[in-house]
């Protein structure tokens, strides 16, 4: 299960930690370097267009409203440059910012959610927003969710938000459902996210339009390549990364990870492609949601843009999600989730944390 914006009661952790002001050094030099240390969750990282900063979502449990705020770090880690909360509501609501997507002109697209009060379990206000910049973070609503894109099905959530061009965004439409592991209210409440279709969002020439890309049902990641002329995407229960030329609709297999396992969370920049492969992921029929992929993280793989030169960035007792490649292709930041192994060696029990921190690969 994957917690949605940590708005559910499943996100009950200790207070967050920050580096002393003025440092540009990570908590742990690694490798990989540990960039954040938060008792709650830090994730959805993205690089500024010039590579001189990392923006991400950070839950603040020391606040009464427990907002998931937008934060910025130096590219090497260190103390936060900024922390912006209360988007889209205020101190009387639990709000969340996810999937920040900085553009080359300074604008930042993002997903914002609010639940109408403090401590709610599901968002009642959710939209794709656009802010003029990090110094003036007052996002204008681009599209309210839920929505049904042309040629697609209803989606409640927009994951993997990326820029294609100055006037086009691409994302993975998703549905979410708050669930408990058992009927008893004492069981932790969690949220299941599952993909619908890769969706294009056209921002220019009139009202914003959303168009579903055929053949991308149950998508689990999307990335823009070739200056937005093509995309890479992954599908549930599939070891392949697909490439689609948007003008012609031609689809080819970019890379097949084969026995390494299911591929997802694809991202590309600077001539390099990152994906999460294998790990703790399962696919099956949910009694009410139908075909569903459960994902607690996997192994980080890197490729060249020609699909060759594969490198596996594996570390012991940690799984990864949602990598972001730096604009020059030399570094990757990803969410890392601790893995705990207990019990006898002959029959070990493995638990993956629901809360992650950010880790940096490369740039040493």
Q: Please, which pLDDT band fits residue 1 given cuts at 50, 70 and 90?
A: very low
Q: Which two tokens stand for residue 14?
A: 């200790």
Q: Is residue 272 part of a domain?
A: yes
Q: Please, which pLDDT band fits residue 5 given cuts at 50, 70 and 90?
A: very low
Q: Is residue 119 part of a domain?
A: yes
Mean of the pLDDT values across residues 338-364?
A: 85
Q: Please check the confidence at residue 2 and state whether its pLDDT lies above 90.
A: no
pLDDT at site 18? 54
Strand order in the sheet with 230-235: 219-225, 230-235, 240-245, 251-256
Q: Is residue 2 part of a domain?
A: no
Question: Residue 357, Cα to own-chain centre: how many angstroms?
Answer: 12
pLDDT digit string (tens) for 95-122?
Answer: 889 999 999 999 999 999 887 666 665 6
Share of the chain above pLDDT 70, in %: 89
Q: Is residue 85 part of a domain?
A: yes
Mean of the pLDDT values across residues 23-48?
A: 90
Q: Is residue 154 part of a domain?
A: yes
Q: What are phi and psi of 227, to 5 degrees?
A: 55, 35
pLDDT digit string (tens) for 169-184?
Answer: 999 999 887 776 677 7
pLDDT at site 207? 85
Q: Is residue 4 part of a domain?
A: no
Q: Which domain holds residue 349?
A: 16-362
Q: Please check the confidence at residue 15 and state whether its pLDDT lies above 70.
A: no
Q: Is residue 7 part of a domain?
A: no
Q: Is residue 11 part of a domain?
A: no
Q: Please, which pLDDT band fits residue 13 given cuts at 50, 70 and 90?
A: very low
CATH number for the domain harbouring residue 292 = 2.120.10.30
Look at the chain and report how many structural domains it folds into: 1
pLDDT at site 122? 63
């Amino acid at each position: 299960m994957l917690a949605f914006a940590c708005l559910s009661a499943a996100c009950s952790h200790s207070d967050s930690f920050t580096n002393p002001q003025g440092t540009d050094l990570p908590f742990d030099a690694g490798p990989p370097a540990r960039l954040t240390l938060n008792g709650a969750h830090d994730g959805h990282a993205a690089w500024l267009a010039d590579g001189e900063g990392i923006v991400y979502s950070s839950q603040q449990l020391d606040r009464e409203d427990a907002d998931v705020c937008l934060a910025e770090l130096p590219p090497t880690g260190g103390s936060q440059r900024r922390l912006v909360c209360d988007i889209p509501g205020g101190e009387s609501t639990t709000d969340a910012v996810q999937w920040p997507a900085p553009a080359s002109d300074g604008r930042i697209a993002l997903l914002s959610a609010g639940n109408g009060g403090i401590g709610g379990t599901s968002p009642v206000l959710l939209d794709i927003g656009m802010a003029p910049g990090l110094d003036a973070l007052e996002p204008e609503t681009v599209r309210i969710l839920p929505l049904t894109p042309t040629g697609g099905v209803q989606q409640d959530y927009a994951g993997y938000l990326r820029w294609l061009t100055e006037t086009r965004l691409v994302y993975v439409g998703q549905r979410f459902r708050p669930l408990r592991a058992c009927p008893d209210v004492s069981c932790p409440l969690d949220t299941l996210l599952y993909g619908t279709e890769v969706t294009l969002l056209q921002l220019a020439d009139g009202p914003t339009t959303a168009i579903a890309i055929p053949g991308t049902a149950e998508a689990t990641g999307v990335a823009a390549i070739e200056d937005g002329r093509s995309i890479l995407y992954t599908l549930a229960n599939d070891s392949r990364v697909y490439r689609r030329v948007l003008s012609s609709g031609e689809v080819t297999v970019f890379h097949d990870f084969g026995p390494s396992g299911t591929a997802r969370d694809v991202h590309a920049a600077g001539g390099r492609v990152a994906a999460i492969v294998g790990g703790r992921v399962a696919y099956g029929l949910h009694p009410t949601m139908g075909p569903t992929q459960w994902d607690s993280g996997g192994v980080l793989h890197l490729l060249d843009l020609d699909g060759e030169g594969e490198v596996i960035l594996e570390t012991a007792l940690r799984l990864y999600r949602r990598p972001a490649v730096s604009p020059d292709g030399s570094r990757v930041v990803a969410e890392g989730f601790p893995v705990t192994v207990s019990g006898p060696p002959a029959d070990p029990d493995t638990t993956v944390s629901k809360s992650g921190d950010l880790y940096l690969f490369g740039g040493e």
